[in-house]
Amino acid sequence: MLGRAALVALCLCGAPATALGQASEISGVAATEGVVVALENDDIVVDLAAKRGAAGGDLVEIWRPLRLKHPVTGKVVTDRFRIGSLKLTQVQGTLSLSRADGRLARPAQVGDVVILRKAKLDPAPKKLAPAPKLPAAAPDRPVAAPLPPSDAVPSAEPVDPEAQAVSTLFDGLKGANVTQRIIAYEDYVRKNPEGRYAVVLWEEAAQLRRLLAHDAMGKAAGKPALLNFTAPKEALGGVPITLGVEVEGPATGAVLHARRAGEVAYRPTPMTASGPGYFSATLPAERMRTPAVQFFVEATTSDGKTHSLVGSPGAPEEIEVTPIPQPTPPLRKEATASIWTDYADYNRMKGNDRVWQTEGFVGMRFEEEGLRALRTGFGVFRGVGGSLEELDEQHLSGRKVGLTYGYLEAEGAFSSFTSVIGRAVIGLHDDGVSGGALGLVRIGNDKKTNLQIGGEILGGVGLRGITQLELNTFERVPMLFRTEVTNQPAGSAVSRDKVRPNDSGATPDTTSVERGEVGGRAIVQIGYRVTPGLVVAGRGSYQGRTIKHAGPGFGGAVTYTW
């Protein structure tokens, strides 16, 4: 009964506006009138509220009242016209907020009439009065039957097939969801387009569709949330990596923002949908660079807003990037052979203070660290010298000094940048066997520009302090700059019976036997790389012990590496 009453109410709501405007209450429908009391932005404030039976989601009619003076009769004529429907969005005790449901024929104004119509419940049936007793009939005359009371039970009405079909439809939809109801209502209207209930059922289906759309919009208003994601801790450099996230909520897309550790700006990469709620993106190989990749992920919604899912610009996730182990060819052990010769005059080409030294070696280079190289070589040292006083003031003959020697040299590297060179020397001079040693510290790699600092001692010859810069900036033109502080060749004193005069006419008594003074040398050597392994070089020098006791020098070198 209640369903049928509601159905009748919906039918009446679809009736022409003029008919509804003339009655505040129609059979089976309760009408409650109110007015528009204010307009607040898009909201229309009405005084139909909870105290008057209104509820959120109710549809109310809105009418425009008119009061006009008839131009002919001069009488004041009043009436009202329906301009549309409103939907109550928020219902309080005395006032409600509403918005237009569809398009209004005229914009709402303060003072417009609003009408809420709801189906009335059937009142309880009245009890029938007992039938009056008939008087006893006289045997000789008939008794007239009394008329039935006005509230007696009426005769049974004929069954309405259309109403019965709609009632059966409603009974079959008990417990059905909204979608099933929409399908059933629209299917009935298609089969009975001219039926009395077609309009109201079609409007009911439309309202249910709006309800579904509103529910979908409500879900879309929520924020997407991360459902599942595990960030990898490390990845290989130069190898693409794919990241995927599972999102719960109204996400229409996702964006992966990534950068190399140390960079300022992130580079966005749109993520593609890989299934319902799944998004993925691939970082290409060229962006997977050491030491690490930082990233964060944002979800996008239909309104163009972004929502953080993984990390943030200020606190990104990080993937450590390690280089791919590369197969390296066996280390090629280089072999080198070299020979150099050098002449130095300390006394203005007078021939009484000079050195001629020639040295050669062969060696092999091993590792960058540890034992880097081993070299073995020979040398011939020939010189003439003495003390400055005996040579320059007493004009004595310089004495001959000589040493022929061999050596073994090793270079040990602490790193590719630092190494130590040690050499052991053994040789022969005029008095027999003699020895010596050399020690250098190399700063820099021997294949690049490097600096060597150290010293040398040769028995019977003297001492030498060495600073040497090997400049390999120019690939085809290697250079060498060297300074020496030395007392060679006469770095030690000898007895008169062992001295060998340089001059053919001199005797031990006219030959310098004292130890020579310390002097300095400056050497420049410039080479040319004829082939990748062959270098030919020439050198020039200037040396002296005092300003007046000095002279030039020259030399050359050849080195071959294979």
Give the CATH number of the domain where residue 275 resides: 2.60.40.10
The verdict on residue 329 lying in a domain is no
- 89 and 233 in a common domain: no
**Residue 145: inside a domain, yes or no?**
no
Cβ pair 181, 173 in contact under 8 A: yes
- pLDDT number for residue 62: 94
Q: What is the pLDDT of residue 23?
A: 36
40 bridge partner residues? 43
The CATH number linked to 531 is 2.40.160.40
Number of domains in the chain: 4
Q: With 0.85 as the threshold, say if the pTM is over it.
A: no
- For 184-277, strand residue ranges (E) read 225-228, 234-236, 241-248, 253-260, 267-275
| Sign of the dihedral defined by the CA atoms of residues 154, 158, 160, 161, in that order | positive
Q: Are 409 and 420 in contact (CB under 8 A)?
A: no
Contact between 110 and 34 under an 8 Å Cβ cutoff? The reply is no
In a domain, 129, yes or no: no
| Ordered alpha helix ranges (H), 245-360 | none
Name the token pair of 153. Answer: 């039970």
Determine contact, residues 380/489, Cβ cutoff 8 Å: no
Let me know whether 297 and 360 are in one domain: no
In this structure, are residues 448 and 408 in contact, taking their beta carbons and an 8 Å threshold? no
Say if 151 falls within a structural domain: no
Which of residues 266, 295, 322 is at a domain's end? 322
| Residue 105 structure tokens | 């024929």
Question: Does residue 268 sit within a domain?
Answer: yes
Instruction: Report which residue type is found at 354.
Output: R
CATH of the domain at 43: 2.40.10.410
Looking at the structure, tell me whether residues 441 and 532 fall in a common domain: yes
Give Cα 521 to chain centroid, integer Å: 60
Backbone angles phi, psi at 6, to 5 degrees: -65, -40
Give the pLDDT of residue 158.
65
Alpha-carbon gap, residue 529 to 477, rounded angstroms: 6
CA atoms within 13 A on the CB side of 466: 20
Tokens representing 372 are 């880097």
Query: Is the domain of 215 the same as that of 237?
Result: no
Q: State how far the alpha carbon of 300 is from the alpha carbons of 53, 228, 252, 281, in Å.
A: 42, 17, 6, 15
Q: Is residue 138 part of a domain?
A: no
**What range does the domain containing 302 cover?**
225-322
In a domain, 330, yes or no: no
213 shares a domain with 74: no
Element (H, E) at 9: helix 2-13
Tell me which of 270, 289, 322 is where a domain ends: 322
pLDDT for residue 248? 87
* Per-residue confidence (pLDDT) for residue 331, from 0 to 100: 65
pLDDT of residue 216: 59
pLDDT recorded at residue 174 = 83
Query: Both 59 and 204 in a single domain?
Result: no
Based on the fold, state whether residues 428 and 530 are members of the same structural domain: yes
Return the structure tokens found at 25.
Answer: 């209450």
pLDDT at 497: 87
H or E element, residue 424: strand 418-429
> What phi, psi does 205 have (nearest 5°)?
-65, -40
Count the Cβ atoms, other than its own, within 10 Å of residue 331: 10
- Does residue 528 share a domain with residue 443? yes
pLDDT of residue 219: 55
Judgement on whether residues 370 and 489 belong to the same structural domain of the protein: yes
Q: Which of 197, 220, 243 is the last residue of a domain?
A: 220
Residue 19 DSSP SS3 = helix
Same domain, 431 and 529: yes
106 and 40 both lie in a single domain: yes
Query: Domain check: are 216 and 234 in the same one?
Result: no
The per-residue pLDDT string of the chain (562 residues; one tens digit each, 9 = 90 and over) reads 334 434 333 333 333 333 333 334 444 567 889 999 999 888 999 999 888 888 888 899 999 998 888 777 778 888 888 999 999 999 988 899 999 998 898 899 999 999 998 766 444 444 444 544 444 444 444 444 444 444 444 445 566 888 888 888 888 888 788 888 888 888 888 888 888 888 888 888 888 887 776 665 555 556 888 988 988 999 999 999 999 999 988 889 999 999 998 888 999 999 999 888 899 999 999 999 999 999 999 999 888 888 999 999 989 999 999 998 877 777 678 999 999 999 999 999 999 999 999 999 999 999 899 999 999 999 999 999 999 999 999 999 999 999 999 999 999 999 999 999 999 999 998 778 999 999 999 999 999 999 999 999 998 899 999 999 999 999 999 999 999 999 999 998 898 888 999 998 899 999 999 999 999 999 999 999 999 999 999 999 999 999 999 999 999 999 999 9
